[in-house]
Amino acid sequence: MSSGEVPCQDREAALTALRSRPIETFDFHHPNAVTAHWARDNFEILGQRLSVELAQRCDLPVREVAFWVDLLFRFAATAADNPNRLRALTDAVHSGNPGDGVLMERLEALLGMLTQLTRVVLVADELEGFSTDESAALRLAAFLGSLRQSVERLDVILSLNLDIWESAFLPRLSGGLADRLSELVVELEPLTEQEMVALLESRVPGLGCQVLARIDRSEAGTHARGLIRAAGEAWLRASAAPAPSSPPPTPPKTSPIQVPTAAPPPQAPTAAVEEPVSVQAPAAEPSATPSQSPAPDADRVDDLLRQFRERYGRGSA
């Protein structure tokens, strides 16, 4: 655009937008991104010009740069919600069953373009397995050394124990390759007890001291990796251990409590039925012997007879 190859009504405004807002300018999914839509419609021509420009700036083969320009353009132009978007990208990288040499050239081209924007750092970790496979260690070292030599602004970090480096890597490496890979060595000093507790506290806040007390330091060592591994094993053992059984509590001795029984439900009132009341006759006194019986009261008997005759009339006696 700056050279005039691409026609534009306001060239300065378009160049400012490209430099300051490249992501918004080339948003292929925004309806108002006119530049992105124009670039998509004319990509067959623009893609070739862009590949040549990038190859010259990165000092890389045009073929490999054109491969990534075409592939990444199709990835960016595909709808973000398309489920096959990422799969199409990975399938295109391995299409045609390319050999190791072709894949290596593609990787170098991709890293070379990325380093035009920022430094790239490759980290190789978990390399303990190379202690028993020296040929694999040699292939890894040669791979990293080749990348460092062909790609500028590329840093490589190898994270491994010193004994593995000395036994698996150094015996098989040439002097130049060993020097490039060990250009800067940072040896991690053993952790102090305070640092061990702080490391465990970062994983299990508030339990660092308790976890450290369950670790066999003679086996775990004094470095972070062994300490974390031993802490995980101790945690699993503590989680799997059954809880200590305790005897059932003895109920306190208390005096028996008499539970009152529920009162019977009230009965519906019924009409009372009067029953004859039997009155017990007084016990008869023992009869007196003739010698002890009193003489009849003759006056009282006569008086009762007289009253009877007066009330009911005279009759024969």
CA 77 from chain centre, in angstroms, equals: 35
Rounded Cα distance between 54 and 59, Å, is 8
Q: Of how many residues is the chain composed?
A: 317
For tokens 């062994």, name the residue: 226
Inter-residue contact 120 to 84 (CB < 8 Å): no
The terminus-to-terminus CA distance of the chain in angstroms comes to 170
Task: State the pLDDT at residue 269.
Answer: 46
- Which residues are bridge partners to 123 per DSSP? 157
pTM for the predicted model, two decimal places: 0.58
- Give the pLDDT of the chain (317 residues) as one tens digit per residue: 777 677 777 778 878 878 888 888 788 888 888 778 888 888 888 889 889 999 999 889 999 999 999 999 989 888 888 888 888 888 888 887 888 889 999 999 999 999 998 999 999 988 878 878 888 888 998 899 889 888 989 999 988 888 888 888 888 888 888 888 888 888 878 888 888 899 889 888 988 888 888 888 878 878 787 888 888 888 888 877 665 556 556 655 555 445 444 455 555 444 444 444 444 444 444 444 444 444 455 566 677 767 767 766 654 44
DSSP collapsed to 3 states, the chain? CCCCCCCCCCHHHHHHHHHHCHHHHCCCCCCCCHHHHHHHHCHHHHHHHHHHHHHHHHCCCHHHHHHHHHHHHHHHHCCCCCCCHHHHHHHHHCCCCCCHHHHHHHHHHHHHHHCCCCCEEEEECCCHHHHHCHHHHHHHHHHHHHHHHHCCCEEEEECCCHHHHHHHHHHHCCHHHHHHHCCCCCCCCCCCHHHHHHHHHHHCCCCHHHHHHCCCHHHHCCCHHHHHHHHHHHHHHHHHCCCCCCCCCCCCCCCCCCCCCCCCCCCCCCCCCCCCCCCCCCCCCCCCCCCCCCCCCHHHHHHHHHHHHHHHCCCCC
* pLDDT for the residue numbered 172: 83
Residue 271: the pLDDT is: 45
